[in-house]
Structure 1
């Protein structure tokens, strides 16, 4: 399998949970239409508002890099990047 799996864990700065999650939700429909996007899901913790996981599957690394360098991501970073308290990104491949 050559698909690239991305797991991004994002936590909002205190007091900015609602605004960050709203901005992240706006990305979902846009990104799902990107070439090479197989799956792009956003999940929020039931225990902590503003603690989210993006689970993504891309056809290949190039498709993901195009997404990350796209105008929609530039707009997101300009609008909501300052609301992010922490960010962790895992790049994975499915093995079973």
Structure 2
């Protein structure tokens, strides 16, 4: 069985584009949540900032993540935010350390 993939995607809005970025990412959430293999897709803002957004993601497999990256929701987000971000999202992939209570966040 394939282990789920966990990643953190950080996006920084250009000055004056914070509202557009937040609205665009928020609007995409229902479509992404409905994608096969989406186990978590949660939008956050870095505390103390207005324009640094962090998406915590968990995907059932590399294939599910690949389909998400090529899917309609991400194409729309990419088109809308092409000029609104300071650069491409910064992606950090994480390896889970199986310890503690599984229901409380061991994986």
Instruction: Using structure 2 for the length normalisation, give the TM-score.
Output: 0.83
2:53 & 2:80 partners in 1: Cα distance?
18
1:81 has 2:82 as partner: yes
Q: How many equivalent residue pairs?
A: 96
Q: Which residue of 2 aligns with 1:19?
A: 20
- Residue segments in structure 1 that go unaligned for 5+ positions in a row: none
Considering only CA atoms, is the larger Rg found in Structure 1 or Structure 2?
2
Question: Which has the larger share of strand?
Answer: 1
Deviations 1:42-73 (A, max 9, x none): 00123111211100000011000100001211
SS of 2:7's partner is strand
Instruction: Using structure 1 for the length normalisation, give the TM-score.
Output: 0.92
- Residue segments in structure 2 that go unaligned for 5+ positions in a row: 99-107
1:38, 1:58 within 8 Å by CA — same for their partners in 2? yes
More RCO (CA 8 Å, sep 6+): 1
Q: Which residue of 1 aligns with 2:92?
A: 90
1:81 is displaced (CA, Å) by 2.1
Runs of 4+ in 1 over 3 A off after TM superposition: none
